[in-house]
Amino acid sequence: MSLLADPVRLGPLVARNRIAFPAHLTNAAVARLPTAQHAAYYGARAAGGAGLVITEEQSVDPADQPYEKLVDGTDPAVVPGYRAIADAVHAHGALVFAQLGHNGGQSSSLYSRAPVDGADDEADPMFREVPRPLAEDGLARLVAGFGVVAGHVAAGGLDGVEVQCSQASLIRQLAPSRALPLLLAVLAAVREAIGPDRVLGVRLQGDEGVPGGSTADDAVRLAVAVEAHVDYVNTAVGVATRTLPLIEPPMGVPAGYAAHVPSAVRAAVSVPVIGVGRFTTPTQALDAVRSGSCDLVGVVRGQIADPSFAAKALRGARVRRCIGCNQECIARVGLDQRLGCAVNPAAGHEAANGPFAASTRANSPFARVLVIGGGPAGLAAAVAAARCGHAVTLAERGDALGGQLALAARAPERGELVNVVSDLAFEARELGVEVRLRSSIGAAEDTEDADVVVLATGARPALPAWASGLDRVVDVTDVLAGRVTPSGHVLVVDAGRSHAATSTAELLARRGATVTTLTSALVAAGALAPTLDRERWRRRAADLGVVEHTDRVVLGARPGPVLDVLDHLRGEVAPWPADWVVHAGPPTPEVPELGVPVVRVGDCLAPRDLGAAIREGTAAGESIRERSSRL
């Protein structure tokens, strides 16, 4: 990993290694100001070895507010927050730059209650609001705003500024003939404000992913035109309000999918170039640099999932991998909620808990902990308890770890889910957890040797009442586990909010079945939208001929099987015959009565998602403080 460990000069300063933590939304701002959470969050990645941290965007105009928690960099009150971020990152030897930007027409008046200033009067496809086209005096005001915020960045002691012209940017929205002069004016204003001793970079859009949109050639042209004025060039693909899955690709998209952009830019300019693109392992990051596609590699989600990604990458250690589930980083942020991480429950809570919560609690009294159930909740509980110094036994009824997650990972495009199981199992082994497979805990005496019992027994599939007694009506888990092989015309009933139905539909369609899905919801596969999986699913469904129906409620079923289906919009009931019916619905908590006090975590408390399982398991493991909670 020596290439990643090489320092790299960025204008006046040197980054200690090649791993950057690029800008991304966190929703950690309060009242449009940076917070202690920002400082702790970035500080944790610096502590974890990152060479360069770039903050989330700081807006250069108070009226620019497409989302609630965007920092208004023009407010002088940001300076103490910037100072705290600088101190937190510098304490661990990394550089930290602030990203500055203006969202232009990719915004709304919901918060500002003022007209949206755009490059033209075309409504953005996400915000659907017609902007007021900015005239030249407006552009001059914008340039001044960049200068003001850059002054705050310098006053706060940050090491540099990155000017965003990529995912959500007025500069990107402008026609090239207006964009370049504006960008040059902005760069001059920023340089004026930060002086020669700080770094000035620019992030350029290299592939908007829309017909007629910008391409890598456009990024190259702009990079060459501004090269003399910047210390580095960062790159990006995708438009935040139009082609978001390109920016934050979900599970199934290969590492390096965006490498064509930094490669093209790096071939044309002499300043260092940052590349991004779903690098989730140290090896992928190394390959990106080694292949010559970039000088620094941007790893966002990989460092959210494992704050020590960089340090581990440099010493060749194994990381807890990002799986691209997007459940907590992308989906939550899209809903105006604080960023989190399904596999790293500490992410987004660094200020409250400290970045390495578990290690700070390692002095709690030793206890003998029995964790029942080897799914993600049980594994997370075992790892967290062991990290706190407890003696942990993990008892799994089946002959493999992973629970429902291992099953879900069998579906097409969902294979990376199993990385969570293997990473947690690896950590458990390293920490000396005793894992007992095929170990059934059914009574109080089975727990006699434990001071604390954590119940992580998950949930069991639950078919609806209408399915009882019918042949060829099965649960999705029956299909994924290979207990049945539906063929012919298969109706998949999506009665849950997960990937279960789409995963199974795809698996069966790929095996040659004719698959029709139905859901009572207004939108088919709606659960896949917040994590940005839905668009890729729609393409695959179209290729496989999967037909999706919405607004359908199953009222009953008869042998055949034939479903009686209500179209609840129209109020009409019709028979739907099929060769097989596969049901995907919420399971029922599995709660064995052991007769001893237990801590319930994950699906056995309430069936939810992966993030809840790992979060509750981790919290249970970390909260064991007494030698015995069996009082």
Give the β-pairing of 552-558 and 562-567: antiparallel
Q: How far apart are CA 201 and CA 160, in angstroms?
A: 8
Contact between 529 and other proteins by CB under 8 A: the answer reads: yes
Residues in 324-353 that interact with other proteins by CB under 8 A: 332, 335-337, 340
Q: Which residues contact 363 (CB under 8 A, 6 or more apart)?
A: 389
Could you give the 3-state DSSP secondary structure of residue 275?
Answer: strand
Q: At closest approach, how far in Å is the CB of 53 from other proteins?
A: 25
CB of 626 to other proteins, least distance (A): 19
131 binds other proteins (CB under 8 A): yes
Judged by beta carbon, residue 208 or residue 616, the one nearer other proteins is: 616
Comparing CB distances to other proteins, the nearer of 440 and 588 is 588
Q: Indicate the SS3 state at residue 151.
A: helix
- Give, for 459, the enclosing helix (H) or strand (E): strand 459-460
- Of 59-88, binders to other proteins (CB under 8 A) are 67-68
Site residues for other proteins, window 495-514 (CB under 8 A)? Answer: 496-497
Shortest gap between Cβ of 497 and other proteins (angstroms)? 3
Residue keyed to tokens 């989330």: 56
Is 607 a binding residue for other proteins by CB under 8 A? The answer is: yes
Q: Select from 52-60, 284-292, 423-431, 521-529 the region that touches other proteins (CB under 8 A).
A: 521-529
CA distance 568 to 553: 7
Q: Answer yes or no whether residue 551 interacts with other proteins by CB under 8 A.
A: yes
Nearer to other proteins, 63 or 431 (CB): 63
Give the residues across from 53 on adjacent strands: 21, 96
Which of these, 414, 554, 535, 534, lies nearest to 491 by C-alpha position?
554
429 binds other proteins per the rule CB under 8 A = no
- 140, 224, 555, 606: which one binds other proteins (CB under 8 A): 606
Window contacting other proteins (CB under 8 A); options: 6-14, 440-448, 480-488, 611-619: 611-619
Angle CA 570–571–573, to nearest 5: 110
CA–CA dist 612, 606 (Å, integer): 9
Q: How far is the CB of 463 from other proteins (least distance, A)?
A: 15
Query: Of 146, 163, 158, which Cα lies nearest the Cα of 202?
Result: 163
Instruction: Give the separation between CA 574 and CA 582, rounded to whole angstroms.
Output: 18
> Residue 389: which of 368, 370, 373 has the closest Cα?
368
Q: Which is nearer to other proteins, 281 or 344 (CB)?
A: 344
CB atoms within 10 A of CB 315: 12
Which residue, 202 or 604, is less far from other proteins as judged by CB? 604
Q: Where are the beta strands (DSSP E) in 251-385?
A: 273-275, 296-298, 368-372
Mask of contacts with other proteins, 245-284, x by CB under 8 A? Answer: ----------------------------------------
- Three-state secondary structure call for residue 205: strand
- Return the number of the residue (175 or 570) whose C-beta is nearest other proteins: 570
Least Å distance, CB 83 to other proteins, is 19
DSSP 116: P
Q: Are 478 and 508 a contacting pair, CB within 8 Å? A: no
Task: Examine residue 130 and tell whether it contacts other proteins (CB under 8 A).
Answer: yes
> Closest distance between other proteins and the C-beta of residue 372, in Å?
18
Query: Which range binds other proteins by CB under 8 A, 90-98, 159-167, 474-482, 527-535?
Result: 527-535
Alpha helices by DSSP H, 36-175: 36-47, 78-90, 136-155, 170-173
> For residues 5-34, which are near other proteins according to CB under 8 A?
30-31
> Token pair for residue 609?
């998602």
Nearer to other proteins, 129 or 579 (CB): 129
In the region spanning residues 459 to 478, those forming contacts with other proteins, defined by CB under 8 A, are: none
Amino acid at site 358: A
Residue from the set 255, 527, 544, 614 that interacts with other proteins by CB under 8 A = 527
Residue 168 vs residues 21, 172, 509, 538, 589: alpha-carbon distances, Å: 18, 8, 38, 25, 43
Task: Using CB under 8 A, pick the residue from 7, 76, 80, 125 that binds other proteins.
Answer: 125
Looking at the Cβ atoms of 91 and 523, the one nearer to other proteins is 523
**Residue 113 touches other proteins, criterion: CB under 8 A:** yes
Q: Which lies closer to other proteins via its Cβ, residue 18 or residue 552?
A: 552
Total site size for other proteins, rule CB under 8 A: 50
**Residue 599 corresponds to which tokens in the numbers above?**
């801590």
Phi-psi category of 52—alpha, beta or left, where left has phi over 0 and alpha has psi -120 to 50? beta
Q: Which C-beta is closer to other proteins: that of 218 or that of 475?
A: 475
Beta-sheet strand order (sheet of 552-558): 552-558, 562-567, 572-577
Candidate residues 483, 511, 539, 625; the one interacting with other proteins per rule CB under 8 A: 539
Identify residues 203-242 at the interface with other proteins (CB under 8 A): none
Q: At what angle do helices 376-387 and 610-622 cross, to 10 degrees?
A: 30
| CB of residue 532 to other proteins, shortest distance in Å | 13
**Which range, of 78-86, 119-127, 423-431, 558-566, touches other proteins by CB under 8 A?**
119-127
Q: Judged by CB under 8 A, does residue 128 bind other proteins?
A: yes
Considering the rule CB under 8 A, would residue 116 count as an interface residue with other proteins?
yes
Say if strands 8-10 and 13-15 run parallel, antiparallel, or are unpaired. antiparallel
- Piece of the chain touching other proteins by CB under 8 A; list 104-112, 259-267, 318-326, 463-471: 104-112
Record the tokens describing residue 116, joined without a space.
């949206």
The interface mask with other proteins, positions 559-588, x = CB under 8 A, is: --------xxxxx--------------x-x
Contacts of residue 544, defined as CB under 8 A and 6 or more positions apart, other chains included, come to: 506, 509, 510, 515
The residues, ordered by sequence, that sit 6+ positions from 8 with a Cβ below 8 Å of its Cβ are 14, 15, 17, 18, 51, 272, 295, 296
If the CB atoms of residues 221 and 549 are measured against other proteins, the closer one turns out to be 549
- Residue ranges in contact with other proteins by CB under 8 A: 30-31, 67-68, 109-111, 113, 115-116, 121, 123, 125, 128-132, 332, 335-337, 340, 496-497, 522-523, 526-527, 529, 535, 538-539, 542, 551, 567-571, 586, 588-589, 605-608, 612, 615-616
